[in-house]
Amino acid sequence: MPPAHASNKEEKQNRMLAMLVDPQATDDSMLHYADVASPEAGAGEILVRTAAAGVNRADALQRSNKYRQPALERPGIARVAGMEVAGTVSAVGVGVTTWAPGDRVIAMCGGSYAEVAVVDHALAMAQPEGLSDQQAASLPVALMTAYDALVLAGGLQPGQCVLITAAASAVGLVACQIALALGANLVLGLSRGEQGRAAIAGTGAVPVGAQPSLRDELGALTGGRAPDLVIDHVGGDIAGQAINCMALGGRLVSVGRLGGRMLNLDLNELARKRLTVVGTTFRTRNLAAYRTITAGVQHSLLPLVASRQIVPTLDRAFDLPEANEAIDYALTSRPPGKVVLDLT
């Protein structure tokens, strides 16, 4: 019979600390810091020992049970918050041949606010050399969101003019760099704050403040050139203003709705300019769609990260038990750059 201390050690190894979503969560609910059973790698999955996890605005909706990604969830276990991770592979499931324990990876996943995260093997990407764990953890959601919006939904072509709203956000700053790296010859980044506009200028994009109106400012900045592609993270009135500024045959991709879900749309303007408006989200995608986007990011964007054409912008790091404070800080301060949780 093995000694009791051996059994206790094994039991401890099968536990982890995590930030959990309350199943009965409301608007005022917070994530709960808890000791829970560590997951096992199922077929086609890997376990990642978390070094850092990115904080996203959607995490605030997660903690109030208003945002789910069913394709990334594991039914029947405690629901862990978070959706992107950087760390080291600790175990692989049946059928996984692309990864081995010790590999350093980044991934979009379900449940990154924990010491161990479960990741579909095809959603993991090799962590780019030369990046800290915190920098690496800031990339998966931004890269996948921007690639989906700019390339798959937006059809970005070299030589185009691109307007990105809320461009001082972590996703927006990455999107500015991607658009330039993929051949856009003019990228305009919208931000209300001076600090945000300075961060946008640092990417090589032209900062825009939308004062007194987006149409007037774009006309002054570009000499009358209109955006061929708009990546809109705001919605509401800003989306309407962007549509009024677009070039003939332009395309607007609606990614976020921070400024409102409703829009007064001039259908005559839409028809006259032959515009296309496309909506996109991850929450209704299946696993196959996530894998397709990941493959595109690996092929088209990770080389740009390796060559430093895409550089993540970090703002601040919090410890895992401070996840609620990190989310609140990201929501209220709206810093230019990424907020992360550090688990090292």
pLDDT at 2: 52
Quote the CA–CA distance of 173 and 341 in Å, as a whole number.
Answer: 19
**Span between the terminal Cα atoms of the chain, in Å:** 35
| Local structure of 229: helix, strand or coil | strand
Quote the CA–CA distance of 48 and 109 in Å, as a whole number.
Answer: 10
Dihedral sign computed on CA atoms, order 169, 58, 22, 91: negative
Q: Which domains does the chain have, with CATH numbers?
A: 4-139+312-342 (3.90.180.10), 142-279 (3.40.50.720)
Give the torsion through C-alpha atoms of 116, 26, 262, 193, to 10 deg: -60
CA atoms within 13 A on the CB side of 249: 5
pLDDT at 266: 81
β-strand 32-37 against 15-20: which pairing, if any?
Answer: antiparallel
* pTM score: 0.92
pLDDT at 6: 46
The per-residue pLDDT string of the chain (344 residues; one tens digit each, 9 = 90 and over) reads: 455 544 455 556 789 999 999 988 888 899 999 999 999 999 999 999 999 999 999 999 999 988 888 899 887 677 999 999 999 999 999 999 999 999 999 999 999 999 999 999 999 999 999 999 999 999 999 999 999 999 999 999 999 999 999 999 999 999 999 999 999 999 999 998 889 999 999 999 999 986 677 888 888 888 889 999 999 999 888 888 899 899 999 999 999 887 677 777 888 888 999 999 999 999 999 999 999 999 999 999 999 999 999 999 999 999 999 999 999 999 998 888 899 999 99
Quote the CA–CA distance of 302 and 139 in Å, as a whole number.
Answer: 10
| Local structure of 330: helix, strand or coil | helix
How many separate helices (H) and strands (E) can be counted in the chain?
12, 15
H/E segment holding residue 55: strand 45-55
β-strand 276-279 against 229-232: which pairing, if any?
Answer: unpaired
Of 51, 231, 54, the closest CA to residue 139 belongs to 54
Q: 316 φ, ψ to 5°?
A: -160, 150
CA distances (Å), 180 to each of 162, 172, 185, 204, 314, in order?
A: 9, 12, 7, 8, 20
Question: Exposed/middle/buried for 47, CB within 10 Å: 0-12, 13-18, 19+?
Answer: buried
Quote the CA–CA distance of 169 and 167 in Å, as a whole number.
Answer: 5
